[in-house]
Structure 1
Amino acid sequence: MNIKAPRGTVDILPETVKKWQYVERVIKNVSDRFHYNEIRTPLFEHTELFQRGVGDSTDIVQKEMYTFEDRGGRSLTLRPEGTASVVRAFVENKLFGSPIQPVKLFYFGQMFRYERPQKGRMRQLNQFGVEAMGSPDPAVDAEVIDLAMTCYKELGLKSLKLVINSLGDSESRNDYREALVQHFTPHKEELCNDCQTRLTQNPLRILDCKKDHDHPAMKTAPSMLDFLNEDSRSYFEKVKTYLDKMNIPYTVDKNLVRGLDYYNHTAFEIMSEADGFGSITTLAGGGRYNGLVEDLGGPNTPGIGFGMGIERLLMALEAENITLPVENTLDCFVVAFGDEAVLESVNLVHTLRENGIQVDKDYQDRKMKGQFKAADRVNARFVLVLGDQEVEDNVINVKDMETGNQTEVAISNIVSYMQSIMKEEGGIL
């Protein structure tokens, strides 16, 4: 029986995992400097959360969710995105009552969407996200964008493009919706089936359609920016001013609407412009969602956030030929031959590990030559050679695999000796 991973999923093997771990460490470090704290939410939620939070008219809810019924007859869904879950946790745990406002959170999580798998778009995807709730200040919008851009820059990416738009407040958005309905209604029969439905449910989503992207009506569609009221226009200008102050370049795209119903005011995407990256260029996207906390049962609380695909981030690093400083090495490897030496090596490895030394040994009953080859395969920096005679003499030979030099050390002193060497080498200690 040949069982393979389900379509749209991949195994992340140990050598690749090290790259993921490095990327996650950099992102966590950036989040800490921005004073964002980690939150972890369940992999599945009540289906109603996403129907209400993400929106019934979105492709995610209508076509892409993994929904099932549990034994109690409850409808549950594997989370397709992170914001709704974090907002639910914010409301349920009454974080809106915290004396520290806004509440600034980040998360790493697996998301699940039933869509056609392709390069950089899987059915099980990994996402880093940020949510800041409790402040209506446009400076928070700029800060969230700055955090995302800082993550990319600290990993070495240069071919980046930040695109922003304003979806306005509810008044501006309603006026714009009516204008879109009037504009697209004469062309309704020429649009795809999805857009014909969107025309009555959420006409802004028509602008995001991939099938009708080249339809002439798209090019003549009214701009959201022309329908912003004074408050919305002032808000957007402040966001742009803050970005200018931080020397973060951006492009205003009047057709940027994002794919989720909860966005208002600032919407943004960060794209890769690297050669060979692929047709789907978006690396991260987000925006402000004032009103979402209320929709999920909380008090009137403004919020803003974004989601960043880790798979797509690694693709962008590869497209720009950026090599991450990931070393697949081992501090030391114990080579033991002889019954007493093999027995002593078990305790030796245990003791070294207890004292912070990264170490491994042979478990394949290899001869001494084979054990040295095994040490080479795992890129051991030092090899500790132990035979029955060394056990009797209470000594062990430490071989530097770079220079070939060998030093005899008392077994009782090996921990302090290795700690001093690794400290000089700039190792883990």
Structure 2
Amino acid sequence: MSLVIVVGVVSVVPLLSYVSFLLLKKLKAKVEGMVNRQKLLRELGHNVSLPIIFGNRKTQVHNDQTVKRDLKIFDFQTIAAATDNFSPANRLGQGGFGPVYNGKLLDGQEIAIKRLSKSSGQGIVEFKNEAKLIAKLQHTNLVRLIGCSLQGGERLLVYEYLPNKSLDFFIFRMPIRKSLLDWKKRFYIIEGIVQGLLYLHKYSRLRAIHRDLKVSNILLDEQMNPKISDFGMARTYAMNELEANTNRIVGTHGYMSPEYVMNGIVSMKSDVYSFGVLVLEIVSSKKNNGSYDTERPLNLVGYAWQLWNEGKALELMDPTLDESCSSDEVMRCIHVGLLCVQDRAADRRTMSDVVSMLTNDTMALPKPKQPAFFINISSDYEEPDVTEIKLEVCSVNDVTISRMEGR
């Protein structure tokens, strides 16, 4: 009998030890999740309702503050499993602050994950800014932030997955795909971008200036609806604030307004300038940073201004759009684009004006004034995705601002 008891005890002890180990591991993960949540709240300086996602389960953590919008906190293991441990096969691209991956949660939901670079101090700033800002913004033409993850040095942002990638994938990266974007779709995309910017500038709870509006930051869903993405460099402003000065200038060359590059002055008109560049790129399928004149290496804005003054603005249009376009509509878009890239911020239109100009084809448009554009010293020059500029630098990366008088 004693032998049976001994054997039983010997058999049960390892089992109890294993069960205890599993319980402790589970408890440790839960405690770690709670600690990470509190750490995230401290980093964001932000009171929201934050449900923590452990695999398939969701635990709602309440606070006494007003609940604004749920921002899920995913544990790192869930994100790693969703991306097959961040497999290169699931990598969608590389942003200015880290790689972006496609993933699938256990419930089948597809997601896009931005994994901020551990070595980038700027990545922490972007993480905080985007998590605080875009979680509060809700519009059909803005990408939706689902949640985030924080563990150790890892900072991850989890977005809705948009299967058609970004607009530049269609008009720049793969020329054969340009045919998939006829004029009707391009005009539809322009209108969607306008609505997204109008919401940011005028109707959102947090009025915001995007500061890095460009073709690669326009994502497309399965119906080719445009969604503005990447709010890491966005800046909020008060309703009575027309402009502000900043000592840190960040953005992408070719899309940055002259007053922002030269003097650090940021306003809604900074986004308007970027939008104008976007419109000209969508119409032409050309990058603003290219060179488009044999005698003088004009960028796209300068080339568009030259064609406008010569009465040949329609030559800017991508030739593949000939059969699908309305020439009046194309001309109106070029006209609006030039009104948005004028040198002086005061001369540029607001996004409310742009809505009226694009939707009312009987509305008389004012004559555009001198735009701000660049002359590329080297035609092989490739612009970086994201650049930080010191104010004391007057000429950046062999790009200079130049003026050309209209004929």
Give your verdict on TM over 0.5: no
- Short-chain TM bin: under 0.3
TM-score (norm 2): 0.25
Larger Cα-atom Rg: 1
